[in-house]
Amino acid sequence: MLSLIDPPAQHHFITANGIRTSYLEAGDGPVLILLHGAGGGATSWYKVIGPLSRHFRVIAFDKPGYGESDKPWADYSKSFYTDWLKAALDILSVSRCYLAGSSQGGSVSIAFALRFPEYISKMILVDTAGMSDEWDRRIIPRMILYRLFPTPFWGRMLGSNVMKDPFVADPAWHQYSMEVIRKPGGRYPFFLGRGKAVQTYSDEELKAVPVPTLIIWGEDEAFFPVAHGERAAVLIPDSQLVVLPGAGHLPWMEKPSEFVEAVKSFLD
C-alpha cells in the first residue's frame, strides 16, 4: 500500500502510553495529524498524504486497535484515544499541530480539542461520527458481518453504503481494509469499544470547541447524512462547512483533489 503514496511516505513506530504505535510520515512544514476512521488505518489516507506532504509535515497514525499498531484489551473510548494521542504527540515533540479526523477519527479529534486545546491550531472534521443519534442503523448488520467475515463480498456490501462509488478505491485498498480486521485483535475496537468513541456530542460540548474548525462532508453520504455536518457547523463557534458533491462517507478518497484544496485553503 505504501507504493500508492506519491510522493512516498516513511513508516515508523513509537511507543505511546505503552502502546506500540505505527505511523506514516511525509513532508516538511507545519504538522498535520491525520486520524482515520473505524474501517481502516493510516494507509486509508493514501490518496491525499502525498499531495498534502507538499505543504505540511503529514503524520498519519494507525490508531490503537488498527493497522500495525498494538491492539490492547481496552475500552477504546474517547478518553482512551485522547490519552494515547497526547502521549504520541509528546514523544514526537509536536507541541502544536493541525488535527484532521475522519468518521471515528473526527469524534476523537473533537474529544482531544476539548481536553487539550493547547496542542491544536486548527481542526478538520471529515464526515465525523458523534454529531447526531439520527443515522441509518440498517447499516449496522453489514458492519457486524464485515467484521465477523471480512471478505470481498461483505466489503462491497458495506462499501455501497459508505461511498458514492465503492469502486473508486484501488483494489489494494480493499484488500488492506480486510487485512486490518483479520489481524489478531483487529475486531477489538468494534466489539470492546461498543461505540464509546463515537457517542453523540451534546450541544454544550460542540459549542465549547475552542479551535477554528473546517467541516468537510460528502454530499451523498448515506451513513451520516449532511444534516450531521450542518449541526456541527451551527454549534461549533468558529467553523465552516464544505460539502463535496459526488462523494459519500470518504470524500478524501472519492474526491482527493477537491479535498486537498479545501484543506489547503483553510490552513493557509
Q: For residues 185 and 44, what is the distance between their CA atoms, to the nearest angstrom?
A: 19
The stretches of 116-208 forming alpha helices (DSSP H) are 140-148, 152-162, 171-182, 188-191, 203-207
Tally the residues of the chain: 268
Q: Is the peptide bond before 166 cis (omega within 30 degrees of 0)?
A: no
Q: Residue 53: helix, strand or coil by DSSP?
A: helix
Report how many domains make up the chain.
1
Grid cell listed for 141:
448488520
Q: Domain holding 41: CATH number?
A: 3.40.50.1820
How is the beta sheet containing 10-16 ordered, strand by strand? Answer: 10-16, 19-26, 57-61, 31-35, 97-102, 120-126, 213-218, 239-244
Grid cell listed for 37: 476512521
Per-residue pLDDT of the chain in tens (268 residues, 90 and over written 9): 778 898 899 999 999 999 999 999 999 999 999 999 987 899 999 999 999 999 999 999 999 999 999 999 999 999 999 999 999 999 999 999 999 999 999 999 999 999 999 999 999 999 999 998 876 565 666 666 666 666 665 455 555 556 667 666 667 766 777 777 677 676 777 778 778 898 999 999 999 999 999 999 999 988 889 999 999 999 999 999 999 999 988 899 899 999 999 999 999 9
Domain with 101, as residue range(s), is: 2-267
